[in-house]
Amino acid sequence: MVVTADIKAGVIWAGVVARYPDLFTRWNAGARSTTPAPGSWVYSLEQSYGTAEANPEFWKSISANGYLRDLNGPIQLHHGTADADVPWEFSQMLYDEMQQTNQVVEFYTYEGDNHNISNNFSLAMQRTIEFFDRYLKTD
């Protein structure tokens, strides 16, 4: 949707889409310390380009969130509020940022549901199909 106009609409279920400072501190936060381990991708990038605090322009330039204004189609987001893999707040932040850039966006949360939206799969799939039908099918 940014790289090619061939993609007309998108749906993201429980996406790992956030700015890098949030990814570093909130994604799998329990699995690692606040200091990146030598040899990790975070450590390597910080050694080359500085931390997100020291070089925010670099980190913004490699974040998908930095290009939301360039989207050329609608996005639909789905996230379970009990997702243990990806914080549902990532989708909330993406939704808020997309609204700030005047993008067409829909956001559905599923109370108490997991990363796979297992308890509400049928509803989420129905919403997804209806979304694609609305934006991709022609009369």
The secondary structure of residue 64, as a DSSP letter, is G
The secondary structure of residue 87, as a DSSP letter, is -
Q: Where residue 137 falls among pLDDT bands split at 50, 70, 90?
A: very high
Q: Where residue 40 falls among pLDDT bands split at 50, 70, 90?
A: confident
pTM: 0.83
**CA–CA gap between residue 38 and residue 44 (Å, rounded):** 7
Domain of residue 55: give its range.
20-62
**pLDDT above 90: percentage of residues in the chain:** 55
For residues 72 and 8, state if they share a domain: yes
What's the pLDDT at 62? 84
How many CA within 13 A on the CB side of residue 59?
Answer: 18
Q: Are 105 and 95 in contact (CB under 8 A)?
A: yes
pLDDT tens, 70-96?
999 999 999 999 999 999 999 999 999
For residues 29 and 89, state if they share a domain: no
For residues 99 and 54, state if they share a domain: no
For residues 71 and 131, state if they share a domain: yes
Q: Which residues pair with 79 in a beta bridge?
A: 109
| Interval 37-49 mean pLDDT | 81
For residues 56 and 103, state if they share a domain: no
For residues 128 and 71, state if they share a domain: yes
Write out the two tokens for 8.
């007309």
For residues 73 and 105, state if they share a domain: yes
**CA–CA gap between residue 85 and residue 17 (Å, rounded):** 13
CATH number at residue 125: 3.40.50.1820
Tally of domains in the chain: 2
SS3 138: coil
